[in-house]
Chain A
Amino acid sequence: MTAKVNKKIIAWIGWALLFFGFLLCAIIVSFCIGSVVIPLDKIFQIIFNGRGTQEYSILFNDRLPRIILGFGIGSALSLAGALLQGIFRNPLVEPYTLGIAGCAALGVCFNIIFRLHHLVGIFTLPFSGFSGALLAVILIYVLSHKKGIIKIKNILLLGVMISFISSSLIMFLMSISKTENLHGIIFWTMGSLGETNRILVSLAPIAAFLGLIVAYIFSINLNALSLGEEEAFYLGISVERTKQVLFIVASLLTGLSVSIAGIIGFVGLVVPHFVRMIVGRDHRVLLICSFFGGAGFLLICDTVARTVISPLELPVGAITGIIGGTILIYVLSKKQVVL
């Protein structure tokens, strides 16, 4: 083990701890700040003695589920983005360009308009989002699978086309829907961490964490894949299996996120790029840091979204776009970075 490699590994440890610290800070900030600012020392007091007070309600009924969701969805989306960028070796790839999110949105739209949720109960909305995502995945898979090989170029084109078709279908559905359904759909497309259902909220971070573990197992494969598929194959990596498993993981994470929180863009695109610029391209450190970074980023954006023009709330997707896009442009213009 050379000194240079040692240094690199120490740097990894540093970065991983730093990003974890960033996540913890974001969680604390989200707890403290809102239309009512509750200072940190008061928080401990409230947690233990404050049952029944207004501040307790705010912390546990309003902010806690948002934090759990923000954590789960931010990390899921940026992990999915990092995985997809690793498989496709293309900087424009993220859960949305592949049509997965578009189809999930279409599924939810369909559900709202045809009032299916009255038939099957409260889970149908996320379920239909998930089914939409699954449909996109199956479609892309089947159509681009030739002779047991997945062609990357095909998938990208297909994904973009599916994305466009989904948006158009959503617009079509919106134009023929009744007015009261319309605002439900629009709400949903603006993205929000306001979900109240206990099971869904708890599911988000758990699924994201499981996704991280599975992805981590393939992190060395991803590193090899970045050299090119043939090179990776000759290095002994099972290229097809890597692509399959990771594509499915990324799609499931995206489908779940979109079904629970609506459309929150940019997290899957911006965070992995930003993290890659800081920690490098090795997936053993990139995946973990994207996971923490994405979670922290979404939590901060959500805090901004619900505080800036309180009592009104901005859609969190707008904030992720503005902040994320601006940071990325700024960093890109400063460094001569190759994505």
Chain B
Amino acid sequence: MGLIKAKIVFSLLFLATALLITGLVLAFLGQGEGNYGLQSKNIERIISLGPVITEEIYLLQVDDKLVADTIYCTRPEAAKKKQKIGTVLEIGVEKIIMLKPDIVFATSLSNTKQCAKLMQAGIRVVTFMQAGSFPEICENFLILARYLSKEDKAQEIISNVKKEVEYIKKKMSTVHKKKIFFQIGANPLFTVSRDSFINDFIDFSGGLNIAADTTTGSYSREQVIMGNPDIIIIATMGIMGQDEKKQWQNFQTINAVKNNAIFFMDSYLTCSPTPITFITALKEMIAFIHPEVKIDDSQGK
């Protein structure tokens, strides 16, 4: 008697489960693709998923339309006060939907599945690929400006920056090139290859990146010793940076160590450049590498 009851109840439970699954799946599949609304709609509410984009929005003076950004968007100071919607790698999808943005600017590091969810919800998402060179930094800046109808301002900034860069390049082209090792990571040791805009810093400032041909960025100390750089630059990573300097000082055969030419550069400055901070970083690097060359700030303007 009990067994038959059990069999009936269990069969009903199986049926209920099947119905539940079917119901949920059909409700899900029944969702159409999101519509982006009118393409030509004015952009009033922006959300940025990357520090570079945030900084560039402030440069273009449309920061009043910036509704939210990531917790890593700390430059300029005002950006810290905006609402936060996550990190560069992971965002709060629900929070972004509730903020009703007209457009979301993502980076190549943004979680693609979460961006897909935003698009399914009808939100416009534009992704910027990581810039690999100075021209690409300017190109990305221009594309951003076009979306925000600030193309003229961007062109102005870019042409000024380009003039300055050309002037610097010309001035540094006659200088004797010094060998540089640029370290961006420790444990494991990481440097930059030719495909990075940091390589452009090195090139334009009269330097030679000893690791230009590396494929993954992973480098060994032995390779550095063989490369014998004249200057070592470490992008600050907190305490690790100081430890790394001490480590390098053990290798007395390296020119950089002999001449006490191990420098630190702010990693925010070097790793997330806008066209303007590119120039700042460039000048800082020249001060380290070729302190004998004076860059006149008024030139090239």
Contact = CB atoms under 8 A, between A and B. Distances in A.
Interface of A: 1, 5-6, 9-10, 12-13, 16-17, 20, 34-36, 54, 57-58, 60-62, 64-65, 67-68, 71, 175-180, 183, 187, 192, 194-196, 198, 201-202, 205-206, 209, 212-213, 288, 291-292, 306, 310-313
Interface string B68-96: 00000000000000001111011111111
A187 B116 CA distance: 16
Contact of A1 (B1, B85, B97): B1
Given A17-B13, A61-B120, A178-B217, A36 B94 contact: yes
A73 to B, nearest CB: 13
Contacts of B16: 20
Contacts of A288: 10, 13
Given A1-B3, A179-B217, A183-B89, A202 B25 contact: yes
Contact of B188 (A10, A12, A175, A194): A175
A209 B94 contact: no
Residue among B13, B85, B108, B190 having the largest count of chain A Cβ atoms under 10 Å = B13
Given A62-B121, A311-B95, 19 more contacts: A5-B2, A9-B3, A10-B2, A13-B5, A16-B10, A35-B98, A36-B95, A58-B97, A58-B121, A60-B31, A61-B97, A61-B120, A68-B28, A71-B21, A71-B24, A175-B218, A180-B109, A183-B109, A196-B116
A54 B25 contact: no
Interface string B11-35: 0011011100100110111010010
Interface of B: 1-3, 5-6, 9-10, 13-14, 16-18, 21, 24-25, 27-29, 31, 34, 84-87, 89-98, 100, 108-109, 111, 113-114, 116-117, 120-122, 130, 188, 190, 215-218
Nearest to A291: B17
A16 B34 contact: no
A16 to B, nearest CB: 6
Contacts of A179: 190, 216-217
Contacts of B218: 175-176
A54 B89 CA distance: 23
Contact of A311 (B27, B92, B111, B122): B92
B2 A9 contact: yes
B105 to A, nearest CB: 17
A-B complex: 9 closest residue pairs judged by Cβ atoms: A311-B92, A57-B121, A9-B2, A6-B2, A61-B121, A196-B116, A311-B95, A35-B94, A205-B21
Contacts of B190: 179
B94 A64 contact: no
B2 A57 contact: no
Given A311-B86, A312-B87, A13 B95 contact: no
Contacts of B28: 60, 64-65, 68, 198, 201-202
A322 to B, nearest CB: 19
Contact of A206 (B25, B96, B114): B25
Contacts of B84: 311
B94 A176 contact: no
B95 A310 contact: yes
A34 B121 CA distance: 16
B25 A313 contact: no
Which of A57, A71, A306, A312 has the most CB atoms of chain B within a 10 A radius of its CB?
Answer: A57
Contacts of A64: 24, 27-28, 31
Contacts of A57: 34, 97, 121-122
Contacts of B29: 198, 202
Contacts of A13: 5-6, 9-10
Contacts of A34: 94
B87 A194 contact: no
A149 to B, nearest CB: 33
Contacts of A68: 21, 24-25, 28
B225 to A, nearest CB: 21
Contact of B113 (A6, A178, A196, A206): A196
Contacts of A65: 28
Given A60-B27, A61-B117, A54 B100 contact: yes
Contact of B97 (A5, A62, A67, A198): A62
A209 B190 CA distance: 48
Nearest to A183: B89
A205 B92 contact: no
Nearest to A34: B94
Given A10-B2, A205-B25, A195 B113 contact: yes
In this complex, the member of B25, B84, B108, B120 whose beta carbon has the largest number of chain A beta carbons within 10 angstroms is B25
13 contacts: A12-B6, A13-B6, A13-B9, A17-B9, A20-B13, A57-B121, A64-B24, A68-B28, A175-B218, A178-B215, A183-B89, A187-B89, A311-B84
A209 B34 contact: no
B31 A61 contact: yes
A177 B188 CA distance: 12
A36 B98 contact: yes
Nearest to A314: B90
A36 B6 CA distance: 41
A318 to B, nearest CB: 13
A180 B88 CA distance: 13
Nearest to B190: A179
A209 B15 CA distance: 11
A119 B132 CA distance: 24
A34 B6 CA distance: 37
Nearest to B94: A35
A291 B2 CA distance: 23
Contact of A6 (B1, B21, B100, B114): B1
A206 B23 CA distance: 12
Contacts of A35: 92, 94-95, 98
B231 to A, nearest CB: 24
